[in-house]
């Protein structure tokens, strides 16, 4: 029972982080029709910058409990890097997908050098912050309170994002532009501005996800590529472009990963991709995806 | 208010419009008529800024439109209802109608603008909360025209508003356009079927293979045999 709960909580924590990054990927794909491989870089950027921000905050005498808000703010702030990156992507919106994949893959590799330049090649950690919130007793199991807070924060962000897209004017303009960019332009929507805003929000979801993960695991040069591999599994399982798909996919991948680590750590990625292959064979559009012609 | 002169447009290396002239004055309902492929949609898409002409000028309210982005042209007051209606499936009818009130300010309140669109097609009131995907072709056309009107435009562009609709719905659309005209709204409308033309059309232009072959009133067009061969010929084909 304890083992089961351990897997469950560990899996849901990882799923909460994965969901944020995958939601950013889905949002950008839904509106811009660009598969952004650089989402992994945003995640890693959030992680590195989060560590720096917490370091600065604690040097400035911020109390230990401010770690979570500092990380969220740091993630949001560094997410603004999405604006200049979107300017680069603009050149390939109307081109073939292969150009988009090549460009975003190039960005992924370039960011890796940026991290090496600013933060060095050795992994960085933020151990002491992890237990700043203590541990909580959950059905006989002691878990870091931080994990529960991150799960709660991720759920809150998911609900807020859904409400924003469904209920606000800007959200409706974004959905209209996602469905038919030309018609929206013809009705007075500046779609370039919509694209820049959406991409930046998508980027922020990734950077916040990365910032939130650092108390629990180290930031390293490999984390960007590792996350792209998982985020793609999430998107394929859930269905490209679907937010509900991102949620379901993140939970499935998070739980499988947690179970694999417990039972057979070598098979962590293998087990995830077995599910991906099964989904591709049985339901090519993903669990919540619309079938593509 | 709209004046096009010497407009030339190429698509993929072929000349689609070879130097056309056209004008719409305030309050006028002008019809651009021609067979499929004559260049009507290209004319509309050039006015809206989707197509970059190779030569000529499109002036609207004293300003050149060529070189401007579609959203700027819409914000200047050109309302556009495309041939395929292009109603958003993901938004409700009400949201479709409200959208242009968020992108362009006008003297009328947002609520009045939507309300005015609904008086043109009162039937839409029943569907306000229905999704755009759950509408028939005729209903989508009503939403598309009403949505363009909700922009509170100075000029309304309607690309083949009767195309592909069932005969039962055509009078409803026609009445709607009549009431839009009664508001004093300037309208430029494309049509391929001369028998769909409402009798309240002020002037018409006939486009044939990218060239303007006639400009005048409906009565003058009916007297011109060459024009009638072009614009009525297709009608017979359609009925066979």
Which residues in A lie closer than 8 A to residue B151 (C-beta atoms)?
187-188
Q: Output the CA angle B109-A161-A250, nearest 5 degrees.
A: 155
Question: pLDDT digit of tens for each residue in chain A (293 aa)?
Answer: 778 888 888 899 999 999 999 999 999 999 988 989 999 999 999 999 999 999 999 899 998 889 999 999 999 999 999 999 999 999 988 888 899 999 999 999 999 999 999 999 888 888 677 778 888 887 778 888 899 999 999 999 999 999 999 999 999 999 999 999 999 999 999 999 999 999 999 999 999 999 999 988 888 989 999 999 999 999 999 998 888 899 999 999 999 999 998 888 888 889 999 999 999 999 988 988 865 43
pLDDT tens per residue across span B83-104: 999 999 999 999 999 999 999 9
Interface confidence, given as ipTM, is: 0.92
For the four alpha carbons of A143, A149, A154 and A160, in that order, the dihedral sign comes to positive
Chain position carrying tokens 């985020």: A231
- For A84, A289, B115, the CA distances from B145, given in Å and listed in that order, are 38, 32, 14
In the predicted structure, residue B138 carries a pLDDT above the cut 90: yes
How close does chain A come to B120, measured CA to CA in Å? 19
- Give the closest of A180, A182, A187 to B100, CB-based: A187
Q: What is the mean pLDDT of residues B148-155?
A: 96
Would you give the DSSP letter of residue A248?
Answer: H
Q: Which CATH number is associated with domain B2-239? A: 3.40.50.300
CA distances from A171 to A159, A165, B89, B99 (A): 13, 4, 15, 11
The tokens of A186 are what? 């013809």
Q: What is the mean pLDDT of residues B193-217?
A: 88
Q: Can you read off the two tokens belonging to residue B78? A: 């050109």
Q: Which residues of A touch B48 (CB under 8 A)?
A: 186
Q: Inform me whether the C-beta atom of residue B94 falls under 8 Å from chain A C-beta atoms.
A: no
> What's the topology of domain A2-282?
ABC transporter involved in vitamin B12 uptake, BtuC (1.10.3470)
- Residue pair B40/B32 in contact (Cβ under 8 Å)? The answer is yes
Helix (H) or strand (E) holding B225: helix B225-239
Q: Do A203 and A76 contact (CB within 8 A), yes or no? A: no
Q: Do A187 and B90 touch (CB under 8 A)?
A: no
* Cα separation, A193 vs A199, whole angstroms: 10
Which residues share a beta bridge with B57?
Answer: B5
Mean pLDDT in residue range B46-69: 96
**Paired sense of beta strands B186-191 and B155-159, if any:** parallel
β-bridge pairing B203-208 and B211-216: antiparallel
**Where residue B238 falls among pLDDT bands split at 50, 70, 90?**
very low
Q: Is the pLDDT at B198 greater than 90, yes or no?
A: no
Measured distance CA(A190)–CA(B114) in Å, rounded: 21
Closest CA to B210 of B75, B34, B23: B34
**pLDDT score at A293:** 36
pLDDT of residue B223: 87
In 3D space, the residue among A178, A181, A194, A90 whose CA is nearest the CA of residue B50 turns out to be A181
Taking alpha carbons only, the member of A36, A29, A120 closest to residue A81 is: A36
Coil, strand or helix at A144: strand
Question: What tokens were used for A273?
Answer: 């991709």
């Amino acid at each position: 029972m304890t083992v089961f709960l351990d897997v469950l909580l560990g899996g849901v924590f990882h799923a909460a982080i994965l969901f944020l990054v995958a939601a950013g990927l889905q949002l950008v794909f839904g509106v811009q029709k660009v598969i952004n491989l650089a989402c992994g870089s945003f995640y890693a950027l959030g992680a590195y910058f989060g560590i720096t921000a917490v370091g600065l905050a604690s040097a400035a005498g911020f109390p230990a409990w401010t770690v979570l808000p500092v990380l969220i703010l740091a993630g949001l702030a560094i997410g603004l890097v999405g604006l200049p990156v979107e300017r680069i992507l603009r050149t390939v919106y109307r081109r073939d997908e292969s150009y988009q994949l090549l460009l975003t893959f190039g960005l992924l590799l370039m960011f890796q050098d940026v991290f090496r330049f600013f933060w060095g090649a050795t992994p960085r950690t933020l151990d002491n912050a992890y237990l700043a919130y203590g541990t909580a007793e959950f059905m006989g199991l002691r878990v870091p309170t931080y994990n529960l807070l991150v799960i709660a924060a991720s759920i809150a962000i998911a609900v807020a994002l859904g409400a924003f897209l469904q209920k606000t004017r800007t959200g409706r303009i974004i959905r209209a532009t996602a469905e038919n960019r030309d018609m929206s332009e013809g009705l007075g929507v500046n779609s370039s501005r919509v694209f820049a805003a959406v991409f930046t929000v998508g980027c922020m979801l990734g950077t916040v996800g990365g910032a939130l993960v650092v108390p629990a695991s180290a930031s390293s040069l490999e984390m960007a590529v590792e996350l792209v591999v998982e985020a793609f599994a999430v998107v394929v399982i859930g269905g490209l472009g679907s937010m509900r798909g991102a949620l379901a996919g993140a939970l499935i991948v998070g739980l499988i990963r947690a179970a694999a680590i417990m039972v057979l750590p070598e098979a962590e990625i293998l087990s995830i991709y077995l599910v991906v292959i099964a989904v591709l064979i049985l339901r090519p559009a993903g669990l919540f995806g619309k079938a593509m012609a | 208010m709209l004046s096009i002169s010497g407009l030339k447009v190429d698509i993929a290396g072929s000349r689609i419009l070879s130097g056309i002239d056209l004008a719409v004055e305030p309050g006028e309902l002008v019809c651009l008529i021609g067979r499929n492929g004559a260049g009507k949609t290209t004319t509309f898409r050039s006015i809206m800024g989707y197509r970059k002409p190779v030569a000529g000028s499109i002036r609207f309210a004293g300003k050149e439109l060529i070189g401007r982005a579609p959203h700027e042209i819409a914000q200047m007051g050109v309302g556009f209802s495309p041939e395929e209606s292009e109603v958003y499936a993901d938004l409700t009818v009400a949201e479709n109608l409200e959208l242009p009130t968020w992108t362009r300010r006008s003297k009328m309140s947002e609520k009045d603008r939507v309300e005015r669109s609904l008086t043109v097609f009162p039937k839409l009131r029943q569907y306000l909360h229905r999704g755009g995907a759950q509408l028939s072709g005729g209903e989508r056309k009503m939403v598309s025209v009403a949505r363009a009107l909700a922009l509170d435009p100075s000029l309304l562009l309607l690309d083949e508003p009767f195309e592909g609709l069932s005969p039962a719905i055509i009078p409803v659309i026609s009445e709607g356009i009549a009431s839009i005209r009664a508001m004093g709204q300037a309208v430029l409308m494309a049509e391929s079927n001369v028998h769909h033309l409402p009798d309240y059309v002020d002037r018409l232009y006939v486009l044939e293979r990218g060239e303007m072959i006639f400009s005048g009133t409906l009565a003058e067009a009916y007297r011109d045999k060459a024009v009638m061969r072009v614009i009525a010929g297709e009608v017979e084909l359609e009925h066979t």
